Structure 1
């Protein structure tokens, strides 16, 4: 493994930055302190800083020794709305807020790459450092794009990464094509008629309808989806009632749809609406369906995937770069940036043993110089020595 020597020399500073960010987590579009730390560090290192992009986003610009092409590097900054269960000395100080997906680490890695590139500037062109808010389902990438991110800060290519406790420390997984699913979220509201629990014949029971829908909607994947393609429909919430002896008037369901093919995603959404409409007619209730497009399919561009693979090989060695497809039904809004600019996304392994989004998740600090070196190295490779 060949972590860039300069980054290895200041890895202690990176650990301190991450621990500070970890102790002060902020959820999507609330990353005011986080973005302030990012901007202050960038300015300390002589990076040109632009604040407030897409809300709380930050963009840093580093010019090389000569003009040239422009390479974008992106990291997400937001935490999750959950409590942390670890006993770390730098654990979250904010109830209901926790960096349970490691975005504090991603932010720190990009800061490490920024410090290295600002000190060396051994490239011909421009590094565009994109610190994105609100990745966790709140549309941070789309907010930055709507704020004319790439019109204001053009990029010829863009690269991003994510930590993975499912890979061994020092491994990097990267492959071309579709690697993460597109996603929709849905809410279903059922309005029937309430009654005494002892007289259900006087009701139009929304709980019965809700349980029917929860089962019926599974047929979309098992009977409407081409078996050679992939889709997921998960009911993740059912809410109704507040008393033991009252049939309530309303019930609500919510969940997510995942897919790798946009046509499959549209088919699932269409069938959901039709099944809900049929249930409304059959049970004589009103059913309102709201489906929201949240994430696009993440699709790595072949050429840029090759470039990123070469950079990864420089840092961790060919034996630690995994290039076989490992698609996941998880989603990532970096996908929207990849639809605007060619680029690639990879996963970087670490020694954590607890899954992402778990209240006991711990990011291994050993990943920080690896991720920072990878991001810096792709700039050096693509923009060459000055």
Structure 2
């Protein structure tokens, strides 16, 4: 069965490339993926595969039933794009200004579509059922996963697998990890409410820029002085705006940023400390403030048995030449929600473009992937799905 799976995936590899390039040319932003969802539905309908649209919003779920009893295995791919103006010279670059597949979700979708096609072709020899989850809105919290789960996409599922084509890893790499592999991703925004005035009369004002600057410095002490050094955390200020004329003291200032962590206790501490320090800084300056803290995706926490099983499967695939334990990554992923409901694992598949000294990172306007990574991902996911029946 393994050899049949691999042979059929190799046969349809060119179609996988064509799908990826079509999707790359036609990206859609999170929660706006109407045409992409319709494309996915049409692909499965033409093959006679059971498919449901509108799952939790724009999500799509296809199901393939083997003729023998067995477990229900879910495989997930996301399909939204980013608000980025593409700057590549690819012949299949985005046709839509300001929207780009700059994270590899086009490749994820093409991988799962062709894997679904192959599993359907093998259905008379398969055990169990295969649930293909095509998820919308991974890039923008609250994300699509949580609503798709509420809408029943995991009902009856015994195990779930997912991968991310990772352009910073060389082609042939499979990086996996038991426990936390990607971080919880939160955001915050503070508005300092000072008292503006003439730049020549600072004693009559409450300078929102000075107060905000002090707050930025104070917040940077949270990770270094409040978080246990054995734990990992990041607090990044992403923006500071107080736009005025040269001779005006700012009446208000807006500061925003992101917080990343793996441990829920650390996550709670970070939120608490941001509130405490913001309040204290503003009390000292005798000014008011508004603070908004939004929790994003939780950490992606892989299950041990399923992760070790995936690693064993990966070693059976010739394309996978660098199989190793990954370092935890501070980027976030709403695959985390699936793992809170069902056992499974999420891993990285090396997708570094060929003949480049330094690949462009994810979310960069010149981002690209090595398309051969899609075949490696399809074989790895497909073999794990089949062997989960053993």
**What residue is the counterpart of 2:356 in the other structure?**
none
- In the TM superposition, what whole-angstrom CA distance separates every residue of 1:275-321 from its partner, at most 9, and x where no partner exists? 01111211111111111110111111011112211221222467521
SS class of match (1:149): coil
Rounded to whole Å, the distance in 1 between the matches of 2:373 and 2:321 is 17
**What residue is the counterpart of 1:301 in the other structure?**
303
Is 1:147 matched with 2:151? yes
Q: Which moved more, 1:197-206 or 1:212-221?
A: 197-206
TM-score by length of 1: 0.95
**What residue is the counterpart of 1:130 in the other structure?**
133
Rounded to whole Å, the distance in 2 between the matches of 1:268 and 1:187 is 14
Output the aligned Cα RMSD.
Answer: 1.4
- In the TM superposition, what whole-angstrom CA distance separates every residue of 1:150-170 from its partner, at most 9, and x where no partner exists? 2xx321000000011222211
Report deviation, 1:354: 1.5
**What residue is the counterpart of 2:338 in the other structure?**
337
Question: What is the aligned counterpart of 2:200 among 198, 201, 225?
Answer: 198
**What residue is the counterpart of 1:119 in the other structure?**
121
- In the TM superposition, what whole-angstrom CA distance separates every residue of 1:295-352 from its partner, at most 9, and x where no partner exists? 1111110111122112212224675211x24111111110111011000011000232
* Number of residues of Structure 1 aligned to a counterpart in Structure 2: 380
**What residue is the counterpart of 1:356 in the other structure?**
362
Structure 1 alignment gaps of length 5 or more: none
**What residue is the counterpart of 1:81 in the other structure?**
83
Contact 1:195 1:247 in 2 (8 A): yes
Structure 2 alignment gaps of length 5 or more: 354-358
Contact 1:123 1:383 in 2 (8 A): no
SS class of match (2:188): strand
SS class of match (1:33): helix
Rounded to whole Å, the distance in 1 between the matches of 2:14 and 2:311 is 27
Contact 1:161 1:346 in 2 (8 A): yes
Is 1:346 matched with 2:352? no
Rounded to whole Å, the distance in 2 between the matches of 1:336 and 1:78 is 17
Q: Which moved more, 1:26-35 or 1:137-146?
A: 137-146
Contact 2:165 2:374 in 1 (8 A): no
Residues 285-296 of structure 1 mapped to structure 2, 5 A cutoff: 285-296=287-298
Contact 1:123 1:379 in 2 (8 A): no
Q: Which moved more, 1:237-246 or 1:24-33?
A: 237-246
**What residue is the counterpart of 2:210 in the other structure?**
208
**What residue is the counterpart of 1:382 in the other structure?**
388
Report deviation, 1:361: 0.6
Q: Which moved more, 1:349-358 or 1:95-104?
A: 349-358
Residues 1-386 of structure 1 mapped to structure 2, 5 A cutoff: 4-121=6-123, 122-138=125-141, 139-150=143-154, 153-316=155-318, 319-322=321-324, 324-352=325-353, 353-384=359-390
Rounded to whole Å, the distance in 1 between the matches of 2:15 and 2:40 is 13
Rounded to whole Å, the distance in 2 between the matches of 1:307 and 1:110 is 20
Rounded to whole Å, the distance in 1 between the matches of 2:35 and 2:173 is 32
Return closer, same or farther for 1:189/1:302 CA change in 2, 3 Å cut-off.
same
Rounded to whole Å, the distance in 2 between the matches of 1:376 and 1:50 is 21
- In the TM superposition, what whole-angstrom CA distance separates every residue of 1:247-300 from its partner, at most 9, and x where no partner exists? 222111111111111001110110110001111211111111111110111111
